[in-house]
A = this chain, B = another copy of it.
Amino acid sequence: MQLKRNTLQKSIVLKTVHDMKCHASADEVYDVIKKIYPNISRATVYRNLNELTKNNEIKKIEVPEGADRFDHRCFDHYHIRCIKCGKIFDIEMEYIKDLEKTIRNPQGFEFIGHDIMFKGTCPTCK
């Protein structure tokens, strides 16, 4: 499915995620956009972030401990979450394509993929 229409709001959301170059939450994206486009609605930001994720133009990182993050890098990669500041960082590690194949699977699950989330302390918080 493609974006059906090109609205100003959609392109601003995409551009903002790309420009931020970090793992921003929907609200952080919203706050940045609001400064240059004060009438945008939070709901519109959420809707567009989700649609851009579906279309693979950005990547959603789902974080159990808090708000989901949005990443301008679309390829699969792993993350670490700092337990002190809560920020998400990229991990420099090859994506393990075949991880699913190493699993004993007597029940017969159909695997689609996996995420690895490391926990730790970032250099700033250490």
Contact = CB atoms under 8 A, between A and B. Distances in A.
Interface of A: 62-65, 68, 80, 82-83, 89, 91-93, 99-100, 102-123, 126
Nearest to A80: B109
Number of copies: 2
Contacts of A83: 112
B111 A114 contact: no
A113 B82 CA distance: 11
A92 B114 contact: no
B119 A114 contact: yes
Given A62-B64, A68-B64, A118 B108 contact: no
A35 to B, nearest CB: 28
A64 B114 CA distance: 13
A120 B114 CA distance: 9
